[in-house]
Amino acid sequence: MNKGKYLQKWIGCFLIIGLLSSATHKEYINHADPYTIYLTFDDGPLHGSENIATAITKENIKVNVFVVGQHIQNSPQLKGYFNEYLVNPMIEVGNHSFSHAHNKYQLYYSNANSVYVDFLKCYNEYKLPTKLCRLPGRNMWRTATIKHNDMPSGSAAADLLYQNGFKIIGWDLEWEHDAPTSSPVQTGDDMVYLIETHLKNGTTRVKNHLVLLSHDEMFSKGWEQSELDQLVDKLKATGNFKFEFLSTLPGL
């Protein structure tokens, strides 16, 4: 083959590949409908809860918190944070059990009925406004359209809760934290990349919707708080994401 024609052929191939890649990227960035993020916080109220309330008020975004009954009763200050959650129109409150299994998950889930009683205690004692709940130590789902277990232990408890009107929501992606220091493992930039990747690849329970798990205690320090702000600001700046309550999740 003539060297000039050979070169033209390969240049043409590279141009086509480049155009296809560009089109795919453009289609993702300019998605017709915004992707929906459900920003959720577990284990509150804890020190850090007040920073979450401040951030979401400033950013004017909707979030969900899953509270632990024992934490509410630990001090007047923590109960005050819980009361702030209840009256904040940008916060939807759910149930994370009364005891958080005392962090002994295998024993806790060995008796499904006692798990149900534990959740019912938190729901009734603190007059929680929704029956949305998340199991401690388990990424399980029970909704009208989703049934998912991350392990067998806890499955019977999840079934019993759902049979009694609770909607169990797990998560698609976790913002991890270092337990001894409560510090976020990933930066806000890291999380933006992971969120975009999961949504682009369709690896979420509901297409074009992503449930993000984080924890109140991660945001007890000033610099950690800025990571939350960074995440929210970057997602909002794309114009391609909106924040909603879990009660609007399709198929709930």
Residues 16 and 52 in one domain: no
Residues 4 and 114 in one domain: no
Q: What is the DSSP letter of 108?
A: H
The predicted pLDDT at position 31 comes to 55
The predicted pLDDT at position 170 comes to 98
The predicted pLDDT at position 222 comes to 64
SS (H, E, C) 154-214: CHHHHHHHHHCCCEECCCCEECCECCCCCCECCCHHHHHHHHHHHHHHCCCCECCEEEEEE
Q: Which residues pair with 35 in a beta bridge?
A: 241
Contact between residue 194 and residue 186 where contact means Cβ atoms under 8 Å apart: yes
Residues 14 and 107 in one domain: no
Residue 15, classed as helix, strand or coil, is helix
Sign of the C-alpha dihedral computed for residues 204, 229, 45 and 183 taken in this order: positive
The predicted pLDDT at position 51 comes to 87
- From first to last of its 252 residues, the chain has per-residue pLDDT tens of 444 444 444 434 433 334 333 333 333 344 568 999 999 999 999 988 988 888 888 889 999 999 999 999 999 999 999 999 999 999 999 999 999 999 999 999 999 999 999 999 999 999 999 999 999 999 999 999 999 999 999 999 999 999 999 999 999 999 999 888 888 999 999 999 999 999 999 999 999 999 999 999 888 876 556 788 889 999 999 999 999 999 999 999
Sign of the C-alpha dihedral computed for residues 231, 57, 35 and 37 taken in this order: positive
Query: Looking at the 3D structure of the chain, how many domains does it have?
Result: 2
Residues 69 and 87 in one domain: yes
Residues 44 and 13 in one domain: no
Q: How many CB atoms lie within 10 A of CB 29?
A: 12
Residues 181 and 210 in one domain: yes
Residue range of the domain that includes 194: 32-248
| H helical segments located in 38-130 | 49-59, 69-72, 76-87, 105-108, 112-125
CATH code, domain with 110? 3.20.20.370
Is the pTM higher than 0.85? The answer reads: yes
Residues 226 and 180 in one domain: yes
Residues 160 and 64 in one domain: yes
Residues 114 and 158 in one domain: yes
Task: For residue 189, give both structure tokens.
Answer: 């930039």
Residues 159 and 239 in one domain: yes
Residues whose CB is less than 8 angstroms from the CB of residue 63 and which lie 6 or more positions away in sequence, other chains included: 39, 40, 41, 52, 56, 90, 91, 92, 243
Residues 165 and 180 in one domain: yes
Question: 20: part of which helix (H) or strand (E)?
Answer: helix 3-29
Rounded to an integer, what distance in angstroms lies between the CA atom of residue 92 and that of residue 87?
A: 10
Contact between residue 42 and residue 71 where contact means Cβ atoms under 8 Å apart: no
The predicted pLDDT at position 22 comes to 36
Residues 71 and 170 in one domain: yes
The predicted pLDDT at position 82 comes to 97
Rounded to an integer, what distance in angstroms lies between the CA atom of residue 216 and that of residue 45?
A: 7
Rounded to an integer, what distance in angstroms lies between the CA atom of residue 169 and that of residue 205?
A: 10
Estimate to the nearest angstrom the gap between the alpha carbon of 116 and the chain centroid: 23
